[in-house]
Amino acid sequence: MSSTHSVDERLPLLRLGTLGLQHVLVMYAGAIAVPLIIGRALKLSPEQVAMLISADLFCCGLVTLIQSWGVTRWFGIQLPVMMGVTFAAVGPMLAIANGHPGEAGAQLIFGAIMGAGVIAMLLAPLMSRLLAYFPPVVTGTVITVIGISLMRIGINWVFGNPVGPTAPQIVNPEHVQWMASITEAAQASGASISAPPAGMNIAPSQPNPLYASLPNIGLSALVLLSILMVAKFAKGFLANVSVLVGIVVGAVVAVSLGMMNFDKVAKASWFALVTPFQFGTPVFDPVLIFTMSLVMVVVMIESTGMFLALGEMTHKPVEQADLSRGLRTDGLGTLIGGVFNTFPYTSFSQNVGLVGVTGVRSRFVCVAAGLILIALGLIPKMAALVESLPTFVLGGAGLVMFGMVAATGMRILGSVDFTHNRNNLFIVAVSLGMGMIPLVAPNFKQWMSHTWHPLIESGILLASLSAVILNLFFNGASKDRHDSTQAAHMHSSH
């Protein structure tokens, strides 16, 4: 009988490559979502967004290699872990992008990410001791708010963004012409009318034909229907990649209808190195670094639960030293992300679930998947192909991906005792309300200092702080690590 643990088993190359490709396909749609969201929010050019996607795929692969293979005794938990960009950081990054579009915003984002990565590495040894402050009532609430917050993005992908070219209403050209004629008449010599006040603008009043276009809605619905049909009737591997199948179906139909073209793909090169600091020298703003560090605390707590669940699934107990290496790699991956023009990293829950579905525990499967991701990141044509996808094609998939996050949080909350401990209801109710404030009343902070806007613009952070504080107030700190492991099992099973 072999003494090699199943986690350290080296499989035949062909099987290793096939299983690694499966992990890549399961995570691909989620992995590229954040670069698309932030790149477009920053109003970057299509070429720059494609570069973000290439950098993200490259860093996904690199950090996955470090986490699953292990580098020195300080980095890598050496379990079958796939690393990808966390959705938890989207809120703060969108706030920065909306306030500072273009390369200036990118410099602020990447500076905050690098600073948070360093802080996360320093905090890693302490995080396992903080697990008691994140029982299922907190973890489930936070994950639910993450999903609900992200749902807005998926809905905007379907119908159009509320501002910009796809805003629901646009300015009536006749009104613009009238304003111009009044201004011109007021400037004429001997004019008897006054010029319009400085800063006066015509309010949008005409429906925008680009918003909620019926063909776009129909194609989003087709993508959603395709995903649901695959999830319902497909088995095994195909069922695990239902989101990707839906996107492919939507892309094929979009091409056939002339709603998508490959001009950008044709212009992109076959090979290009991913180089650091493409947007210039990062800007290290203390408040933004603090905000992103709070996100990393949430990310590392979630990763801790994932690692504990994965240890049980692979029958390899995870000790505190293992947790420190894994969480330190979250920080290192985030630092690498900032350097290479991409975003904070965490373990991907759908891939943790895939380990349970397939029963394959070898970490070298994820090593193979990491190598595949690096290869994809070095092929700009692949990134350009992804960037060519119309947002309404991604819309149907976005509803599933982001809704699944919210549903996972609700599933974790299902394990919470609300019958004998009514105080848990207060924790969830108030924290959900706090998380909804930026979504329902986005201008709530208009009279507050702009210095604190990035900190309070994220409903995820508000909900996290509220849930932790209220849980401490009502319940104190949990001493049972099993609670977080149980929550992690539920999160990883979707």
SS3 of residue 7 by DSSP = helix
Q: According to the model, what pLDDT value does residue 353 have?
A: 63
Please name every residue paired with 75 in a beta bridge, in sequence order, or none if there are none. Answer: 71
Query: 377, 274 in Cβ contact below 8 A?
Result: yes
CA distance 50 to 202: 35
Q: Is the dihedral of CA 348, 384, 161, 458 positive or negative?
A: positive
What are the CA-CA distances from residue 429 to residues 20, 88, 435 (Å)? 41, 20, 10
Q: Which of 370, 452, 463 is nearest to 60 (CA)?
A: 370
For β-strands 169-170 and 83-85, DSSP reports them as: unpaired
SS3 of residue 123 by DSSP = helix
What are the CA-CA distances from residue 64 to residues 24, 69, 141, 232 (Å)? 11, 8, 28, 31
Q: What is the largest CA-CA distance in the chain?
A: 103
CA distance 96 to 279: 15
Q: According to the model, what pLDDT value does residue 13 have?
A: 86
Q: Which residues contact residue 7 at a Cβ distance below 8 angstroms, ignoring those fewer than 6 apart?
A: 78, 79, 80, 314, 316, 361, 362, 363
- Give me the phi and psi of 77, to 5 degrees please: -80, -15
CA distance 102 to 291: 20
What are the pLDDT digits (tens) for 54-80?
899 999 999 999 999 999 889 999 999
Burial of 46 (0-12, 13-18, 19+ CB in 10 A): middle
Q: According to the model, what pLDDT value does residue 493 have?
A: 47
For β-strands 206-207 and 169-170, DSSP reports them as: antiparallel
Question: How many CB atoms within 10 Å of residue 163?
Answer: 10
CA dihedral defined by 383, 388, 392, 393, rounded to 10 degrees?
Answer: -70
Q: What residue ranges of the chain have pLDDT lower than 70?
A: 1-2, 26, 29, 130-131, 237, 240-241, 305, 309, 349-354, 356-359, 383, 386-387, 450-451, 453-455, 478-494
Q: Is the dihedral of CA 80, 406, 438, 155 positive or negative?
A: positive
CA distance 309 to 273: 36
Distance of CA 155 to the CA centre of its chain: 15
Single pTM value for the model: 0.70
Residue that the structure tokens 């579009």 belong to: 101
- Give me the phi and psi of 200, to 5 degrees please: -75, 130
Number of helices (H), then strands (E), belonging to the chain: the values are: 20, 4
Distance of CA 24 to the CA centre of its chain: 16
CA dihedral defined by 237, 239, 243, 247, rounded to 10 degrees?
Answer: 80
Q: Which of 68, 82, 86 is nearest to 22 (CA)?
A: 82
Residue type, 452: W
Q: According to the model, what pLDDT value does residue 1 have?
A: 45
Q: According to the model, what pLDDT value does residue 494 have?
A: 45
Tell me the average pLDDT of the chain: 84
Q: What is the DSSP string of 22-52?
A: HHHHHHHHHHHHHHHHHHHHTT--HHHHHHH
